[in-house]
Amino acid sequence: MSYGLTVLGSINLDLIVQVAALPKAGETVTGGAYTALPGGKGANVAVAAKRLGAETEIMAAVGDDDYAAQALVNLDKEGVYLDAVRRVDAHTGLAFITVSEDGENQIAVASGANAAYAPADVPKLCSDVLITQFEIPTHVIESALEGYEGFVAVNASPVRDGVDRILNRADLIIVNEGEAAQYDLKSHPGLVAVTLGSKGAELRKDGKLIATAKPPKIDVVDTTGAGDAFAAALTVALAEKQSEQDALEFACAVGALTTTRLGTQTASPTRAEADAILGR
């Protein structure tokens, strides 16, 4: 592609336990299967975008610990540029994820290096497209956006207060139904994509519905990385100048394909897989 894409966000190591059913409050569920996989919303988006064909770099922080190498392995393997990844005096971000047989999940995150990330750690943005999320400090994002004139996509997750300046700058905001209810996006002048789980997604512009799409029928294994893959796919498709309808259909297909495999980065589909399921 002729454009460059920067992801400004988090890098984690996901510690995953698969169980028959998610534990209730105060309950211990035994007999689980364990695996450790690279994660973090920023890293997930970066891998997804690279697999879909975008020349991608990530600006992020990891700790000076043994977890860092495990967290970076997929980014390095996929060819995401890592020159802007900083080592900071904190542990690498960790996500503790429980996944049930029906694909639902519970996640607790120890932010570590992601919370210690500072504006001074972020070089000047030079790419045409930026994707960011709220697993890093908001003042880091605000600082990075100063003077930036490229396309800004904000996956406004997890929900945070005090992010109006970032949302107002966004050309594209991506949220799920629960997140959409927490923000006042009805008057946002740009694009707002709302994911609806198995029902698909909607895309609005200037508050008006301009596109809807449904995901292809698939067998769900793990829903953990679907939102990140959707965000990457929609941003990549719009950067390619696909129509809003085609871009939303593409993003729904990529999100759905991600749920057919365990994990986040390892589950992201290739461009060929996404195009094939859409018959393109």
Catalytic residues: 228
Place of tokens 């299967």: 33
215 C-beta neighbours (distance < 10 Å), count:
24
CB atoms within 10 A of CB 261: 14
Q: What contacts 279, CB < 8 A, 6 or more positions away? A: none
Question: For residue 61, is it left (φ>0), alpha (ψ between -120 and 50) or beta?
Answer: beta
C-alpha dihedral over 134, 135, 139, 140, to 10 degrees? -110
* Strand segments (E) across 64-171: 85-88, 93-99, 105-110, 129-133, 151-155
**DSSP one-letter code for 58:** E
**Angle subtended at Cα 156 by Cα 218 and Cα 62, rounded to the nearest 5 degrees:** 90
What's the CA gap between 135 and 80, in Å, rounded? 19
Give every strand in the sheet of 191-195, ordered side by side: 85-88, 55-63, 4-8, 129-133, 151-155, 172-176, 191-195, 201-205, 208-213
DSSP E strands in the chain: the ranges are 4-8, 12-18, 33-39, 55-63, 85-88, 93-99, 105-110, 129-133, 151-155, 172-176, 191-195, 201-205, 208-213
> Per the structure block, which two tokens stand in for 13?
């190591």
